[in-house]
Amino acid sequence: MEHPTHDTAAEHSSVQAPRRHAYDRIPYLVMFEDTSAYRDTYGGPSEMVALESYLLRPKDLPSDTVIVFMHPIGGGAYLPMMNGLARAGHHVIYCGSRYRGVDNALIMEKVVQDLGACVRDARERLGYAKVVLAGWSGGGSLSLFYQQQAQHPTITATPAGDAPDLTRCDLIPADGIMLLAAHVSRHGTMTEWLDASILDESDPDVRDPELDLYDPKNPNQPPYTAEFIERYRAAQIARNRRITAWVKERLAELRASGDELEERGFVVHGTMADPRWLDPAVDPSDRAPGRCYLGDPKIVNNGPVGLARFNTLRGWLSQWSYDDANGDGVKCAADLEIPTLVIGNSADDACTPSHTQRLYDAIGHPDKTLHVVKGATHYYAGPGQRPMLAEAIGVVTAWMAERGFAPQL
Q: How many domains does the chain fold into? A: 2
Residue 408 lies in a domain: no
Does residue 349 share a domain with residue 205? no
d(CA 143, CA 105): 20
**pTM score, whole prediction:** 0.94
Residue 1 lies in a domain: no
Relative to beta strand 23-33, strand 48-58 is antiparallel
**Of the candidates 289, 319, 349, which is a domain's last residue?**
319
Does residue 13 share a domain with residue 139? yes
Determine the Cα angle at 335 with ends 366 and 371, to 5°: 45
What pLDDT is stored for residue 240 in this prediction? 98
**Of the candidates 276, 297, 319, which is a domain's last residue?**
319
Does residue 368 share a domain with residue 244? no
**Of the candidates 319, 349, 378, which is a domain's last residue?**
319
Does residue 142 share a domain with residue 125? yes
Residue 245 lies in a domain: yes
Q: Any bridge partners for residue 31, and if so which?
A: 50
Query: Which residue range(s) make up the domain with 352?
Result: 6-185+326-402
What pLDDT is stored for residue 44 in this prediction? 60
The three-class DSSP label of residue 164 is coil
Residue 409 lies in a domain: no
What pLDDT is stored for residue 292 in this prediction? 95
Does residue 334 share a domain with residue 266? no
Does residue 145 share a domain with residue 37? yes
CA pseudo-torsion sign 380, 135, 351, 296: positive
CATH of the domain at 59: 3.40.50.1820
Residues 6+ positions from 243 with CB-CB distance below 8 Å: 201, 268, 316, 320
Does residue 177 share a domain with residue 221? no
Alpha helices in 257-385 (DSSP H): 275-278, 297-300, 313-319, 329-333, 353-362
Residues 6+ positions from 224 with CB-CB distance below 8 Å: 232, 275, 279, 281, 282
Does residue 102 share a domain with residue 12? yes
Does residue 356 share a domain with residue 277? no
Does residue 340 share a domain with residue 314? no
User: What is the full per-residue pLDDT of the chain (409 aa) written as tens digits?
Assistant: 445 455 554 344 444 545 789 999 999 999 999 887 777 887 665 678 999 999 999 998 999 999 999 999 988 899 999 999 999 999 999 999 999 999 999 999 999 999 999 999 999 999 999 999 999 999 999 999 999 999 999 999 999 999 999 999 999 999 999 999 999 999 999 999 999 999 999 999 999 999 999 999 999 999 999 999 999 999 999 999 999 999 999 999 999 998 888 999 999 999 999 999 999 999 999 999 999 999 999 999 999 988 999 999 999 999 999 999 999 999 999 999 999 999 999 999 999 999 999 999 999 999 999 999 999 999 999 899 999 999 999 999 999 999 999 775 5
Does residue 194 share a domain with residue 151? no
Identity of the residue numbered 248: K
DSSP assignment letter at 36: -
Distances (CA, A) of 5 to 329, 360, 364, 370: 19, 10, 10, 9
Does residue 161 share a domain with residue 12? yes
Residue 229 lies in a domain: yes
